[in-house]
Amino acid sequence: MISQFSFLILVVFLMGCNFGTSMSNVSTQIITMYSKHSQYFDPDTSYITSLLSISVLIGSMIGSMSVSVLLTKLSKKTVVISASFVACALNIAQVFPVSWIYLFIMRILFGIPSSIITTIGPSWLAELCDDSKRGIITTLYQVFVTFGIVISSLLLLAIGSDDKIWYISFIPPFYFYFLCGNMLLFL
């Protein structure tokens, strides 16, 4: 039988990897590959590349600002589980190469639940621990965000310049969000 603390470490691992992979899985390389499969746009245009690069951060700001409103109406658990499953759906939506405007909008929308989980998750899980273990949970969260970025970077390295498999960079965030949402159902 797994202890509650071990379970919380597993959940914080998923939350950290969620954020790390979702913030770093759309590199300039992926934008270039995406452009080849969508209504063509020039990925060398710094305006478009910059907008696509910051779009998830715009969504993250919106998500962070919406947390207090959400928590007045719903429990932390409900908000984080819902955000996990919404993030799964929006992650899938990003894979369809429609146009750069579509990807821009999907990345903004995707940033919202991603940030909601990041804003609520670590502190909420720390509240569920003994006082002596709270710092461990929040520190591990930061370690796992970095680990998620490493996962994305290694995956982008593996994809290389093969523009037939660019969409693979969206698989880790999907699974991390999906597993996180499902595991939280048992908390």
- To which residue do tokens 């969508």 refer? 38
Q: What is the pLDDT of residue 121?
A: 94
Q: For 99-121, what is each residue's pLDDT tens digit?
A: 889 999 999 999 999 999 999 99
* Stated pTM of the model: 0.92
What's at 33, amino acid-wise? Answer: M
Residue ranges of domains in the chain, CATH in brackets: 24-184 (1.20.1250.20)
Q: Residue 134 and residue 124: Cα distance in Å, rounded?
A: 10
Q: How many of the other CB atoms lie within 10 Å of CB of 131?
A: 7
What's at 144, amino acid-wise? Answer: F
Q: Residue 167 and residue 159: Cα distance in Å, rounded?
A: 9
Residues contacting 23, CB < 8 A, separation 6+:
56, 57, 60, 114, 148, 149
Q: Which residues of the chain have pLDDT under 70?
A: 1, 43-44
Q: How many of the other CB atoms lie within 10 Å of CB of 47?
A: 8
